[in-house]
């Protein structure tokens, strides 16, 4: 350990954590397996030859410090992030190492920006929350679509998921997030976050071929309403979710993803269609691929790689689009994502 290629993965045995560990190994990093459940952690470690496992709880700062000793960076894959993000960010700051997480919880991401911006900047430590399918990918696409525009009127992010088999972690995090906002919804409108109880209408979105026109739930707000406005001057950020995927997520008998290939990915496919509008003009960036959980791994690991090789534009707390060259970042993931711009 301590080679400069050692990356701690908190929640390594979880669904997304396993993808992150595999991606780290594939790219020549040494994953350091960290988690709260010793039985699950030790069992998973048996499947990762040569990897060290360290048990740590977010309630024990000393244990977290010991768990991160010798690591060059940490990726937090363990939700609910309302409980784990703060302690892990603080541990990363104490260790002086970059922190990345895959949080889709709006409130947890808001907390990271609100509570750690000053301390992370003062420490010169990069902290990149929501570096995943929700929050990170949409932000990178919006930043790419903006191009040389310094302002825009609207950002629209439409998620064309073929299905949504949520993990237990997704369901638990969603419950915590909903509880924190009292069951109300959130949107970014008029240049600030608004809580509301408005009904969510179903509209049609024209995704690019081969997906084509699909019914979507409008104002189905995801973490993009946190990440995008942190660095892009846009008063309106709206997101949309394929109606079929929204129905899957809300189903009382929702089932977890089923692996269908050698990487452990599910058969789920996605198209993320981002349109940025300004004074009647529109720019577009579209990404497509397979499995929203699996794609979070190359997103997070590419972020770690760039942070450790000093290919980062800022320090302190920053969203993906602010921290990295957005289009270059997305094009570097060509083995996982198809990117189109217009």
Tell me the CA distances in angstroms from 308 to 6, 97, 311, one per residue in order: 11, 9, 8
Tell me the CA distances in angstroms from 304 to 73, 134, 223, 310, 339, one per residue in order: 7, 17, 20, 10, 21
Q: What is the DSSP string of 194-241?
A: EEE-----EEEEEPPTTT-EEEEEET---THHHHGGGTSB-SEEEEEE
pLDDT by position in tens, the chain (length 342): 445 899 999 999 999 999 999 999 999 999 999 999 999 999 999 999 999 999 999 999 999 999 999 999 999 999 999 999 999 999 999 999 999 999 999 999 999 999 999 999 999 999 999 999 999 999 999 999 999 999 999 999 999 999 999 999 999 988 988 888 888 889 999 999 999 999 999 999 999 988 999 999 999 999 999 999 999 999 999 999 999 999 999 999 999 999 999 999 999 999 999 999 999 999 999 999 999 999 999 999 999 999 999 999 999 999 999 999 999 999 999 999 999 999
Q: Domains for the chain: give ranges and CATH numbers.
A: 6-130+296-327 (3.40.50.720), 133-291 (3.30.360.10)
The model's pTM is: 0.96
Residue 149 main-chain phi, psi, to 5 deg? -70, 135
Peptide bond connecting 210 to the previous residue in cis, omega within 30 degrees of 0: yes
């Amino acid at each position: 350990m301590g080679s400069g290629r050692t990356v701690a993965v908190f929640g390594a045995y979880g669904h997304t954590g396993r993808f992150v560990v595999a991606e780290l190994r594939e790219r020549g990093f040494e994953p350091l397996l960290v988690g709260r459940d010793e039985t699950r952690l030790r069992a998973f470690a048996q499947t990762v030859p040569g990897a060290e496992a360290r048990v740590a709880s977010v309630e024990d700062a000393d244990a977290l410090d010991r768990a991160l000793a010798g690591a060059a960076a940490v990726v937090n894959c363990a939700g609910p992030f309302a409980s784990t993000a703060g302690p892990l960010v603080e541990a990363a700051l104490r260790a002086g190492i970059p922190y990345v997480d895959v949080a889709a919880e709006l409130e947890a991401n808001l907390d990271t920006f609100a509570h750690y911006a000053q301390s992370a900047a003062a420490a010169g430590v990069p902290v990149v929350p929501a570096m995943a399918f929700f929050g990170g990918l949409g932000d990178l696409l919006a930043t790419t679509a903006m191009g040389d525009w310094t302002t825009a009127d609207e950002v629209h992010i439409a998620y064309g998921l073929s299905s949504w088999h949520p993990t237990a972690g997704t369901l638990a995090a969603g419950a915590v997030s909903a509880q924190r906002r009292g069951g109300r919804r959130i949107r970014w409108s008029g240049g600030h976050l608004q809580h509301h109880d408005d009904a969510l209408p179903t509209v049609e979105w024209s995704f690019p071929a081969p997906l084509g026109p699909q019914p979507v739930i409008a104002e189905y707000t995801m973490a993009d309403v946190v990440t995008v406005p942190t660095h892009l001057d846009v008063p309106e950020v709206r997101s949309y979710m394929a109606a079929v995927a929204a129905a899957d997520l809300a189903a009382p008998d929702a089932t977890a993803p089923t692996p269908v290939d050698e990487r452990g990915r599910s058969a789920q496919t996605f198209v993320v269609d981002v349109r940025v509008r300004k004074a009647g003009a529109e720019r577009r960036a579209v990404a497509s691929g397979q499995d929203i959980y699996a794609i979070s791994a190359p997103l997070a690991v590419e972020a770690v790689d760039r942070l450790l090789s000093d290919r980062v534009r800022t320090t302190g707390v920053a969203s993906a689009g602010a921290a990295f060259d957005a289009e270059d970042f997305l094009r570097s993931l060509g083995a996982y994502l198809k990117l189109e711009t217009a």
